[in-house]
Amino acid sequence: MSVTIKDVAKRANVSPSTVSRVLSDSSKISEKTKRKVRKIMDEMGYHINLNARVLVQKSTQTIGIVMKHSASHSLHNPFFPEVLRGISAYCNKEDYSISLTTGESEESIFNEVVKMVQGQRVDGVIVLYSKKDDKVVPYLIDQNFPFVVIGKPLSETSKVMYVDNDNIQAAKEATEYLIKLKHQRISFIGDDPDFQVIQDRLNGYQEALRVHGLKGSDDYIKHFEYGTPNGVQVVEDLIHLPDPPTAMVISTDVNALVVMKELRNRNITIPKDISIVSFNNTIVSQLASPPMTSIDTQTYQLGYEASRCVIELIHDPKMFKRSLIIPTVIKIRESSQVNEGLKYV
């Protein structure tokens, strides 16, 4: 059995409450007693039982991270480690711990969240996605539990605090950048369109086309299906279009890497034949061949700020629910250039 506050108290000839006060470095304990008690703590190898403290103080100093359905999915995307890094950094600063969901299905994740929240294992939650028909966010609102979502919530925006990029604007800029390079036939490749971030980027893309009087076509809009390696199909479809695209806006850099590989397999050169702009600017974009033009969403910052927000919210639950937009920056690299017209097939 581990040594408790009582054991220390006995040995130090003080009461348990005194020991407790020393633990929290209370100002009403004399320096002398503090020293004495601390010495005994050391000698006895005392260490506080956090669960007991949590039980009475009702503060866990830990925040829960909700990943999107299937940890697998999240974890395959370099976006995730990068947000986590940001979250982690701020939590560390504030001495908060991190607890991760492990669920593989929406259902099981939801249950984990309920368990975290109701089981009082966390003080706040960061939701790493915003998705159609998601139950987590409505639940947290209903419980009036401190949380922040990374991404733009689909409804009740006034009730939720979020940290996001302006994805519409970012995609618009990406597309306009291509338009300035004289591209006229620009394709958009996303993934699961149930996620708001994909919708936003799609909208931004479409808006850019509209504003510049380019005819869009549904044939130019494709989505990777999660779990299926349908990159092949997507690329096939696009290049065999009567008027194949000369440029592509691709929702994440890993997806862009897949597309680039498929194009390469068909001897289509980037950027000569097709220009590519991707999102996230993770290490993958820089190291790809050719290096990708990518919209830097400042993922680390997204995580850092989200974490700052929840923690502030925990400290002041009635705080004004401001939301944050993290600016994006287009990093121009070699995967995009002025349209030369298609020379392939």
Partner DNA sequence: TTGAAAGCGCTAACAG
Partner DNA sequence: CTGTTAGCGCTTTCAA
Residues that bind its own copies (CB under 8 A): 2, 47-52, 54-55, 60, 62, 71-72, 75-76, 78, 80-82, 84-85, 88-89, 91-92, 96-100, 102-104, 108, 112, 114-116, 118-121, 254, 257-258, 260-261, 264, 283-284, 287-289, 291
Q: CA-CA distance, 262 to 264, in Å (whole number)?
A: 5
Rounded (to 5) percent helix, strand, coil in the chain: 45, 15, 40
Give the residue with the Cβ less far from its own copies, 216 or 291.
291
Omega of the bond leading into 290 within 30 degrees of 0 (cis): yes
Q: With contacts defined by CB under 7 A, name the span among 9-17, 214-222, 232-240, 250-258 that binds DNA.
A: 9-17
Give the residue with the Cβ less far from DNA, 2 or 269.
2
Q: CA-CA distance, 235 to 250, in Å (whole number)?
A: 12
Binding partner selected for residue 100 from its own copies, DNA, none, CB under the kind-specific 5 to 8 Å limit: its own copies
Q: With contacts defined by CB under 7 A, name the span among 28-36, 121-129, 143-151, 152-160 that binds DNA.
A: 28-36
Q: CA-CA distance, 308 to 33, in Å (whole number)?
A: 37
Binding partner selected for residue 158 from DNA, its own copies, none, CB under the kind-specific 5 to 8 Å limit: none
Burial 201-236 (b: 16+ CB within 10 A, else e): bbebbbbbbeeeebebeeebbbbbeeeeebbeebbe
Binding partner selected for residue 160 from DNA, its own copies, none, CB under the kind-specific 5 to 8 Å limit: none
Distance from the first to the final alpha carbon of the chain: 75
Q: CA-CA distance, 33 to 57, in Å (whole number)?
A: 24
* Candidate list 10, 11, 53, 182; residue touching DNA; CB under 7 A: 53
Give the residue with the Cβ less far from its own copies, 69 or 185.
69
CB of 91 to DNA, least distance (A): 20
CB of 126 to its own copies, least distance (A): 13
Q: CA-CA distance, 303 to 163, in Å (whole number)?
A: 8
CB of 259 to DNA, least distance (A): 52
Q: CA-CA distance, 144 to 147, in Å (whole number)?
A: 9
Binding interface with DNA (CB under 7 A) = 1-2, 4-6, 13-18, 20-21, 23-24, 26-30, 32-33, 48-49, 52-53, 55-57
